[in-house]
Structure 1
Amino acid sequence: MFEFKVHHQDGRARVARLATPHGTVTTPMFMPVGTQGTVKGISPQELLDIGSQMILGNTYHLMLRPGEELVAAHGGLPGFTAYPGPFLTDSGGFQVMSLGHLRKINEEGVIFKSHLDGSLVDLTPERSIEVQQALGADVIMAFDECPPFPAERDYITRSLERTVRWLERCLTFKSRDDQALFAIVQGGIHPDLRQLSLDLTLPFNTPGFAIGGLAVGESKAEMYPAVEFTTARLPEDKPRYLMGVGHPEDLVAGIALGVDMFDCVYPTRTGRFGYALTDDGRLNLNSSAPRRDLRPIDEDCDCYACRHYTRAYLAHLVRAGELLAPRMLSLHNLRYLHRLVERMRSVIAAGEFIGWARSWGARYFGGELPQWFAAALGASAAQRGLVGTRSPQHM
């Protein structure tokens, strides 16, 4: 039911196929976030039209509203949302971390106050898996504790050890064979703690592994050495998922280091605030410059907004507060990220990824590459020097 096979590799970057009960997806890929069972403002058909392959659902929010029983009555998230493809659900751990003073963590799990009505909710590893099984996603996540940034080393150590104990409870409780449970590697930005988490987590040999505990407040210069360290030590025959990360530069750097899966609210949230993603950086449609610009957002983009509307019209919609503006900008931004990974899959298969990534970065950053970005490409290039581009028969 679940099969992951790498077909092309250029340095650390790779192209693979992941088979799931609701369809086979090609990685690397970006997953739009459907927190409440919908990607804000975008219909399921539009998601399919722009190239979405897998949607992320949120265990915490769907558990509280409308409740997993109602979703299960629809046959799970595909029936509930009318999106026919694969889903991934997070465990609720990140949302619990974000509650701060509204939650209390102990060995059993987490007790927190609902952000909806203040009622007390008890979320344990078993309860997280119970909800995710009812939601019916193809890929589900182990319940973890995601430490904030900054956090004391002792706290991160205790947290990652607890996360491993929770993983064991999740695997013991899980009963559905048609769902792949991914373990989550923690450890913050500390290499030795990342190694400890890897040592404790890898023996469980789950169908995939997520890189957690990052993009929680640290700088990219602090985050990417941790990504590089972790991906280099994860199994080559399992998918690698960098949780909650999805800026364009993050996709390029992460893919350079061997990440296969990404998710983030960034493209739709950015669209709702009047920004469009391009290879030249973010286009601010709130500013004066686009107001008389008769070009599309991106002349190379095939999304509905770029095929039908000018920058001037979209800037007018933004200023007028029209609902079409956030819809079209969100649609474009999602399509931009899908096109970005499509381009990367193509150049990886051709053995041209490093050169392409450097050229893309020079344009996107307007000149010199940030050190963290250049280092990610350098690490991939070093690996390429060792193994070259590998074809399927060598994987």
Structure 2
Amino acid sequence: MTDTDDTTTTAAQPDDATLEDRVEAALRSVRDPAADLSVFEAGFVENVEVSEGDVRLEVDLHALDDDTGQGVIDAMLRAVDDVDGVGGVHVERASPSAEGRSSVAAFDHVVAVASAKGGVGKSTVAAHLACAFAAERDVALFDADIHGPNVPALVDAAGPIHATDEGDPMPVRRRGMDVMSVGLMEDGAPLAWRGAMAHDALSDLFENTAWENDDVLVIDLPPGTGDVVLTTLQDVHVDGVVVVTTPFHAAVSDTGRTVELFRDNDVPVLGAVVNMAEYVCDCCGEPNELFDESVDDLDAPVLAELPFTRELQGTPEPGDVPDAVADLGERTLDALDTADEVDVPDDAVDIRDLPPEERKGRVRERFESLDPGERFVLVSDRDPTPVGGFLSRLAGAPREAFDIEVRRATPSDWVLETVKVA
């Protein structure tokens, strides 16, 4: 609470309605230093009351750190105090309310960012991706990496965490983007949480965090496939996951197993981000590969190959990210919109809705109608690898004569592709 008093009186004071208009006009000159919005546009002013020259302002500054919030209050006091006819100004901080706020279950879309190993840039990608989404969406960023919560430092978000009247933790606001992390509550102290403790802490944050935004939630998962990852899949309906890897062979191999884990848990894999794909020399401008490996065997579409640059090591701003990250954001949202679709040609044999006794007949009919050299594509709701043996018997050719590719397109859809041999 802050007060200023001005004992100077004026010969003729305007009526309260006119004075209120002038007070509001003065307040609109005060800006949110982070978002460059007026205090009204930023949602800081909850109420303005004017009575006989005294002004009472009710403000909600929970999204700002203490020093920035006090600076905004001081600026508001100066602006109102300079208005002719104001005899005194009183500012009250509004108590945060949970009205209109939502838990994680209310988000329209939930995107997880995962990696098989640490040190591949997963949290960096998660932070940049959330900021890319923020250009067009109301976004929240949840740091579920409870043992190494790096998100606050990556997006320059600082506590303290405030609570609603009901005691629910409220995220920190960063230029309109919600940010929640145990790192905002633990002051950077190392966290040595074991299984049950970690599970309970994470579940509590998923259920009770009073988010303001409810469009897209980006979850930065810890590396690997441990308790925290499984807890997240248990507590949250994840609409899609982005996996992050470097082109190093061990990372690519482990990422393939991570992809399968998510698909086995019915989570669509939106694609992979290949981080540190190359380094462009500052002196000569020539690109150099950091790893002499390939990601061609990774069973997921590549959404982006990000270079090792200083630009991507900087602090991303919500809605203002490097071009490569903006492109990644668009591709990820496109993949999210089509996560349940299978991209196959119109003449593919689709046996997903057929009873078992009809499946072989449909496969035989289509395969026998093809000429040698023509492509055969099958869509199934189970692994179709055994179909290769059936095709070899139909063609009267050994199984080894067929170059058969099987891929899992969604958690519940497989695609088999081959060419009919003579």
Same fold per superposition (TM over 0.5): no
- Of Structure 1 and Structure 2, the greater helix share is in 1
Q: Which has the larger radius of gyration?
A: 2
Whose RCO is larger (CA < 8 A, sep 6+)?
1
TM-score by length of 1: 0.31
